[in-house]
Amino acid sequence: MRAVLLLIRSHLSVHRVRTLLTTLATASSVCLLVWIISIYSSAIRSFDLYASRALGHYDLIVDPVSRKANREVASPALELLRDEAQVAQIDPMWARLLTFRAERTDTDRSKGSQEVVDRHSREGGWEEVIIGSDAEAPPFPLLRGRWIAPDTSEGLQAVLSLECSERLGVTVGDELSIAGPTENQPRIQVVGVIEPPPATITGVMVGSRMLPSPSVGAVFVSMNDAERIHRTKPTITFAAVSLRDGVDVHTFRYRLAPALYALAKPVQFMTDLDMEEEMSEAAKASSMTLQAYVVGIVSVLLAFLVIFSTLSMGVTERARQFALLRAVALTKTQLSALIAGEGLALVSFGLLLGIPAGWFLVIVVDRATDGVIRNGVHVDWTGIGLAVLISGVASLLAGVLPAWRATRVKPLDAIAPQNATRVESQWLASFGWLLVAFPLIGLLPLVSLVFPPSVSDPIFARLMLGAAGLALGLLLLSPVLVRWTDRLCVPPLARLLRLPKALLQQQLTSQLWRTVACAVTLSVGMGLFAAIHVWGWSMVYVFVPTNWAPAATLVLERPLASDQIDQLREWNPALQVVPLMVEQPRLRDDLLNSAEFPSVTRQMVVVLAGLDPQSGFGGADPLVDTQWIAGTPSEAIAMMKSNRGCVVPDHFYNQAGLKLGDPIYLVPPESPENPVRYTLAGAVRLRGGQWMTKTTNMRMRTHRSAGLVFADYQSVAGDFQLPGPRHCWIQSDEASLDEDALLAAVQSVQYRLDTTLGQEGKPDARIMPTQDIEGHILSAAQFWLWFMSVVPLIAIAISSVAMLNIFLASVRARQWDFGILRALGFTRSVLIRIVIAEGILVGIVACLVGCAFGLIAGWCGTALTQTSSWFGGMDIALTLPLVTLLIGSGTLLTFAALAAVWPALKISSMSPLSLLDRGRGMSQ
């Protein structure tokens, strides 16, 4: 073993540049791993924290479905939840807006806040949200004093939020009074101060509605005191729920939703827009965990490939040396140990350099991104420990093939002519490998597209199996790709670089190990980059409204009367104004199995849009001009008019497994005891329908919706007791819609009929052009997809360092050949161009392998996402982001060419004689 250690030490120290570059590349991979794992784990922690901050220590909020003034969480709902074994605690809460005045014991304290009082107070008091609760503990950290006692015979007591306490200039021991018409208002003693999250994070109001969350509370009192203040028994505005340890909030929520909806006074686990978004952030957090795993795999794979390529190169150029060692000293086992030891040494150097570098980077990011990652960025040492372990194993695995190749060297090769000692590798490019490669490549399409999984299938296992098969298949295919590239790309590249074709030909195939190692290493980043963009853009475009959508949606605060709509139509006859009766009822039956497999399209609630069937679907130029998956426009129109027919989106139709004529029972939110029977009249493609309803307040009761369902205007108005349309779809023949003119016209018609509207006031309406929705989705997608592309681009940069390393070794091994060329009269410039051309050719192979991986993995990923992702469920079409792929390929080719520059300059700077001398030396 001492001989092995001696050889490892001498090899690494003599080839310092190679060791340094390999260390640099490996360290960069490790650094990337440390950085990404830390950032992701911090971000996930931050999301979790963020999601829960609005809720305090609670997990969920129970909110009435009804939006009527007398809405409440009735006792059956509370009882149902109390009977749930998974519920640890439920605290009903009452919330109202009241005006408070500070009754300070120390008047000096008010000086500082006097200006604020003058600016914001109304009638000398402050409008604050008071919350009545008998909770045993405060929902947020207690800063001063104590929490309210549930029942006290003493005077009224309150705990204030820190913000309220500062606004009013009061603290523990001070008193508040409630502003009212008489002077004899009750006084409330402040007994404690708590610290909810800032309103800028949690929000207080959305539209005209108060968020149902403890975070909106400024003044907390017991229910007893609430009754004394309110002078009547408080109704329950919302209830806060804590679940037992280990219970998954998401699963619990969707499991219990049907029971809550089925109550006489239905309630829902609906937090509200902001919190609801945060709940989906939690879903994002789990997808971020997956992303972190992917990045981790990529980093380790990169380190593996860097070490693999270095070791492979070492075996190729040291074949004669190994033969000599076998002849005079080492057994095959010792030779294998030599290769494995070199791999371990290289990964150790990488870890020693990479972990501190990653740690440093994390600190820099933490300081530079104050507030972005809200929970701060911390080094995730568990992840790093795992990374060290995996890297070690990866380095050992990276040595397996080179070690096997080394042991194939025979002792006799030590005295054989130089050419004979090159490890034979042309067999790699044999077309016979295609018989193995193609089935492996086809594995992922097979398990995702040909036999798509059901929601209960193990998706992750399919993905891992398919992706591994794809990677292995492409690895086996790459030698053949090298051969094709050699044949097809060399002639044009030789012309471009003005090189004799013969000098470039066979350069790739004659050094197959080098070429394949370089290309595969480079292709990792490119593959991930392509997969992200193919998957991402294919997923994004299902959310982008297409031609079926109207030019704009008019969103009204007050319903329009029919003559107001007529006036709008008269104002500009070129505009097609289609009023919509919109409600967000729930499905009586969980047709989409949302309780078990909730997703963005598997919900119990739909957005129901009542429209004139003829305008919507009839005629030669219907408003909703789209493809029919089931039924025909004429039959659907007839059913809508006569038989409460409804038209559903294709994903709803497919997931529910309904047939035309099947009933769909919808429960009116304000009249849950009277479900309405609708009949399935047709199904249409509605790409982007989800976002249309999201951004136009059509989801007025809950943030979630299974899809946009169309029915007859009059039926919806009658069944759901809607006074008039709050939405109009606008179709325009003009090239661009004059939004300002339209808004002015809306204001004008509203004012004409309703004199209570002020002329000075803002119009009670807004316009959401469909183009803006598209622009918003695409720009957001662009930002996130490029944000996610940072890692693959870094991977390309890291792998180009590995390529530089391999090329340095490659030109070193070919000094004799280059010496001959120089002796024959070829200039330095020719040598430079040859080496750079080789770099470009290797880059082309890497692009082919990477794009093939990205295309197949990305496209199959969308199919798997259909059943596994929160955002799955919709009909997805393959989208090829050609420009993006060209940018990625261009970046890779640039890095590949740059990686060849140093070796090219190095070899060209040597004289012919020294090339020949050193070349001869290399062969000895």
Partner 1 sequence: MERESSDEAHRPDTPPLVASDVRKVFQRGERQVAALRGVSLSVKHGEFLAIMGASGSGKSTMLHALAGLTDIDSGTICVEGQDLAKLPDAKLTRFRRDRIGLVFQAFNLVPTLTAEDNVRLPALEQAGLEEKVTELFAALGLSERRGHRPDALSGGEQQRVAIARALVSDPAILLLDEPTGSLDSVAGQELCKILKILSADRQKTVLVVTHEPAVAFWSDRVLVMRDGTLLDEFSTDDLESAELLAQRYQLALNQQTIT
Which residues contribute to the site for partner 1 (CB under 8 A)? 2-3, 6-7, 10-11, 13-15, 320-321, 324-333, 410-412, 414-415, 921, 923-924
Q: Which is nearer to partner 1, 324 or 401 (CB)?
A: 324
| Amino acid (one-letter) located at 375 | N
Q: Pick from 142, 134, 179, 176: which is nearest to 157 by CA?
A: 176
Sign of the alpha-carbon dihedral angle for 123, 127, 131, 136:
negative
Q: Which is nearer to partner 1, 311 or 530 (CB)?
A: 311
Distance CA 28, CA 30 (A): 5
Min dist CB 331 to partner 1, Å, is 4
Min dist CB 294 to partner 1, Å, is 39
Q: Is residue 631 helix, strand or coil?
A: coil
Q: Which is nearer to partner 1, 330 or 767 (CB)?
A: 330
Q: Which is nearer to partner 1, 325 or 398 (CB)?
A: 325
Q: Which is nearer to partner 1, 17 or 887 (CB)?
A: 17
Min dist CB 379 to partner 1, Å, is 38
Under DSSP, the state recorded for 561 is: P
Q: Which is nearer to partner 1, 336 or 731 (CB)?
A: 336
Q: Which is nearer to partner 1, 208 or 924 (CB)?
A: 924
Min dist CB 907 to partner 1, Å, is 18
Distance CA 922, CA 818 (A): 13
In sequence order, the β-bridge partners of residue 582 are: 609
Q: Pick from 204, 201, 235, 200: which is nearest to 218 by CA?
A: 204
In which residue are the tokens 């190679």 written? 18
Min dist CB 5 to partner 1, Å, is 9
Q: Which is nearer to partner 1, 414 or 857 (CB)?
A: 414
Cα 450 to the chain's mean position, in Å? 26
Min dist CB 804 to partner 1, Å, is 21
Distance CA 80, CA 923 (A): 84
Distance CA 488, CA 501 (A): 12
Please say whether the beta carbons of 277 and 40 come within 8 A: no
Min dist CB 440 to partner 1, Å, is 34
Min dist CB 397 to partner 1, Å, is 24
Min dist CB 341 to partner 1, Å, is 14
Q: Which is nearer to partner 1, 416 or 744 (CB)?
A: 416
Greatest CA separation for the chain: 112
Min dist CB 10 to partner 1, Å, is 4
Q: Which is nearer to partner 1, 311 or 708 (CB)?
A: 311
Min dist CB 504 to partner 1, Å, is 30
Name, in order, each residue with C-beta under 8 angstroms of 733's C-beta and a sequence gap of 6 or more: 574
Min dist CB 811 to partner 1, Å, is 17
Under DSSP, the state recorded for 122 is: B
Distance CA 26, CA 436 (A): 31
Min dist CB 896 to partner 1, Å, is 29
Q: Which is nearer to partner 1, 265 or 410 (CB)?
A: 410
What are the CA-CA distances from residue 145 to residues 178, 188, 279, 562 (Å)?
A: 21, 15, 32, 59
What are the CA-CA distances from residue 885 to residues 108, 334, 838, 854 (Å)?
A: 66, 46, 22, 10
114: exposed, middle or buried (Cβ count in 10 Å: 0-12, 13-18, 19+): exposed
Q: Pick from 320, 338, 403: which is nearest to 4 by CA?
A: 338
| Amino acid (one-letter) located at 907 | I
SS3 content of the chain, % helix, strand, coil (to 5): 55, 15, 30
Q: Which is nearer to partner 1, 138 or 314 (CB)?
A: 314
Query: Exposure pattern of 94-110 as b/e (b: 16+ CB <10 Å)?
Result: bbbebbbbbebeeeeee
* C-alpha gyration radius of the chain: 35
Min dist CB 807 to partner 1, Å, is 20
Q: Is residue 677 helix, strand or coil?
A: strand
Q: Which is nearer to partner 1, 237 or 336 (CB)?
A: 336
465: exposed, middle or buried (Cβ count in 10 Å: 0-12, 13-18, 19+): middle
Q: Which is nearer to partner 1, 318 or 701 (CB)?
A: 318
| Amino acid (one-letter) located at 120 | H
Distance CA 515, CA 176 (A): 79
Min dist CB 911 to partner 1, Å, is 17
Min dist CB 326 to partner 1, Å, is 7
| Element of type H or E holding 765 | strand 765-769
Q: Is residue 68 helix, strand or coil?
A: coil
Distance CA 157, CA 220 (A): 9
Q: Which is nearer to partner 1, 325 or 362 (CB)?
A: 325
Q: Which is nearer to partner 1, 415 or 741 (CB)?
A: 415
The three-state (H, E, C) secondary structure of 125-168, written as one string: EEEEEEEEECCCCCCCCEEEECCCCCCCCCCEEEEEEHHHHHHH
Q: Which is nearer to partner 1, 16 or 498 (CB)?
A: 16
How many Å from the N-terminal Cα to the C-terminal Cα in the chain? 25
Min dist CB 883 to partner 1, Å, is 49
For 219, phi and psi rounded to 5 degrees?
-125, 120
Please say whether the beta carbons of 711 and 608 come within 8 A: yes
Distance CA 339, CA 315 (A): 8
Min dist CB 912 to partner 1, Å, is 19
